[in-house]
Amino acid sequence: MDQNEREQIQNGENPEKEETNPETKGKSMKEVAALLVGAGKTAAKAAGKSAAKAAGNAKNAVVNAIDANDDGKFDLKDLSFVAAQFGEKREADRAKKEFDALQPIFQDTVTSPEFTLPKLIRVAQMDKKHEEAECCQDSIGFRAEHGGIQIITIYPGWTKLLNLDFYPNANSELFYVDPCDRDKYIALEQYFNYLRVSKVGELQMIAQSLGAKHFKVSYVEQESADSENKVNAMVAMKGKATPSGSGEIDHEKSSSSFLKVSVGAEMEFLGHDPIEPTLKYLKGDPNIETLIKMRMSNNAPIHQRTIINLVSSSEISEKDAAKIDGAMSALHYGGKLAIQKQAQKESRTTLEYEIDY
């Protein structure tokens, strides 16, 4: 490269490539650089105007969105209004959360066509948390769920609004629905005994309708008992085994089952031609329906005997009974009902029914 070419390059000239841009043709490198700097400033200025315009539009949108009093600006009055709205929303959220937790019910709730009653009803005074909650003012009770058991608590004085028959009255605390009458609720502490008596009464009615001269109903309960037997009472004296009233005693435990039988009812009649009875608590029991069908036939037997399972027509299974016990514990119920134990006893008990015509 000669001296002339070096000078051309230092001055920003390209000896090998012909410049075709009219803006820069014939201009030195310094002149081109100055043009680029000017163009950059112009572009930046234009971009700045666009950004400012966009920011202005965004500002107007924000002001329009939160300008509460329509004065075209966002000031302290608008700020107070927005703060009040946020406060109201927080209060509404808190009230909804409290309502969902306490689940109060009102007069118009129970009169609504969509209202349904659970199997378990509790009659009790309003507790402190419901009494103090604003959402529970004028309520007549509340819903709750414990261990999968739905419960409605009704405050005393409002039970008549439910149009239910409470047995023996509404003075008890816990009631469970009658398995054959959805408008009747039985005091829980009397539930199993009530059903026993009702079934025995129905068996008496069946005997009368079928023209029996004698009938007998017995409760047959299977029980188990553990006994402890003394199998060896010996003491060792000088290497000899000698009977004695004291010393080491070996014990052996044994378990046995037995039937406990008690008469539930027994009666004699004059007898008459059979009339088919109407069933309630024993409706659907195959043994009873077969008994009636045989008696109503032309070749009627003169003696019949059948077994009835007590728990078959009960609304409370052993599984449900365990849940009810858990619910009562959660409600801090003071009674000692032990519904699960009662349900287990019912499952071990049958009714033995004998009829003579």
pLDDT single digits (tens) 234-289: 444 444 444 444 444 454 554 456 678 889 899 999 999 999 999 999 999 999 99
Percentage of the chain surpassing pLDDT 90?
Answer: 43
Query: Which of 67-81, 139-153, 335-349 is the least confident region?
Result: 67-81
**210 or 61: which leads in pLDDT:** 210
pLDDT range class, residue 56, cuts 50, 70, 90:
very low
Buried b (16+ CB within 10 A) or exposed e, 183-194: eebbbbbebbeb
State pTM to two decimals: 0.66
